Structure 1
Amino acid sequence: MTRIIAGEFRGRRLAVPADTTRPTSDRVREAVFSMLGSRMDLSEARVLDLYAGTGALGIEAVSRGAASAVLVEADRRAAGVLRDNVAVCGAAAQVRIVNRSVESFLAAPTGTFDLIFLDPPYDISTDEVNRAIAGCAAVLAEGGWILVERGRRSDDVAWPEGIDEVAAKKYGDTVVVLGSR
């Protein structure tokens, strides 16, 4: 069961698309927001959640005070579940769902973002993840943050010029890496 951990939507349960999504566990999400909370003020932040899946990261950010979130998910079934999850939380005014590939979205961005979550399926190649990170650099606001979630056995990510790695933490089979402009 995936649920919102804190904030306005605390305790709301999120549906998970069958066989198409690996949601970030509550434990890892709690650690992620603790890591972010000591480094940035989420209030009024513009959030981009790439490979959104259940939307747990983006919706959690809005629940904790972010002004808005754009959730990008290529899988049509997962995007349908995203719509349901946003509705369950009553977050439709703050959350926009984009049913496109990450590559397509980053090729024609809609503004800049203060916080970007990049949580691709673990089987996506490191080269593809690094291309997505490079695309994120173009839409990351000054002073913004990028959080990348990968499998523990994945290769290290490559940060583009102007973005520095700030922290990396391991949680079971998951590695979370945080970069900042």
Structure 2
Amino acid sequence: MRLTSGSAGGIPLEVPKNVTRPTQDRVKQAIFNMLGDLVADARVLDVFSGSGALGLECLSRGAASALLIEQDRAACDVIRKNITKTRLESAAVRQGDVFKMLPQMAGQGSAVFDLVFADPPYANKPGEEDLSLKLAQMPDLQSLVAPGGSLILECRATRHGLEDWSPWEMVRDREYGSTRILWLRKR
């Protein structure tokens, strides 16, 4: 895996072992082609960050800042190594459970983001909770997104068409093999 464009384009990234499902380069490229100029100067939040690839890609392409949240300690260590390797110093890493940290951040009222990237673990078996839908419906997440800001949500392609993503406006819904990318905009 590598950064695909910008000031750190081409730099390979380390990937945490056994705890992540990295977004493929072709999917990442498609996401950033969709977003175009929205990345420049954006304040970015990358949750379920894994290697930090999406947040770092934003910084490489001119985002103002990126906060990367990941629960796994070893993955956070990998993210820090990737920040050092890419020299994208306006990235910050926080370790913790996304569903606990977002309410804390919303309660502080200080952080507002233009772009939020989320690649939560997929529900693989019947009866498992769909974290994508749970995250998108969190009022605390919505309060952290600037008016007109966007949530780029990665989920399993097989769940197509069954969800109610309100109060977000659906901008795009694309599938790439088993991966589904949703671009949702705050109304």
TM-score in terms of structure 2 length:
0.89
Aligned to 1:52: 49
**8 Å Cα contact 1:126/1:154 also seen in 2:** no
Aligned to 2:21: 22
- Alignment of 1:174 with 2:179, yes or no, is yes
Superposed counterparts of 1:61-140, under 5 Å: 61-92=58-89, 94-109=90-105, 110-123=110-123, 125-135=128-138, 136-140=141-145
Aligned to 1:144: 149
SS in structure 1 of the partner of residue 16 of structure 2: coil
Let me know the Cα RMSD of the aligned residues.
1.5
Deviations 1:8-57 (Å, cap 9, x if unpaired)?
Answer: 001111001111111100000000000111xx522210000010001110
**8 Å Cα contact 1:49/1:57 also seen in 2:** yes
**8 Å Cα contact 1:120/1:129 also seen in 2:** yes
**8 Å Cα contact 2:123/2:130 also seen in 1:** no
Of 100-109 and 125-134, deviating more is 125-134
Instruction: Note the C-alpha offset of 1:143.
Output: 1.1
Unpaired runs of 5+ in structure 2? Answer: none
Cα separation, 1, equivalents of 2:45 and 2:135 = 13
**8 Å Cα contact 1:137/1:160 also seen in 2:** no
Paired letter, 1:91: L
SS in structure 1 of the partner of residue 120 of structure 2: coil
SS in structure 2 of the partner of residue 3 of structure 1: coil
TM-score in terms of structure 1 length:
0.91
Paired letter, 2:122: Y
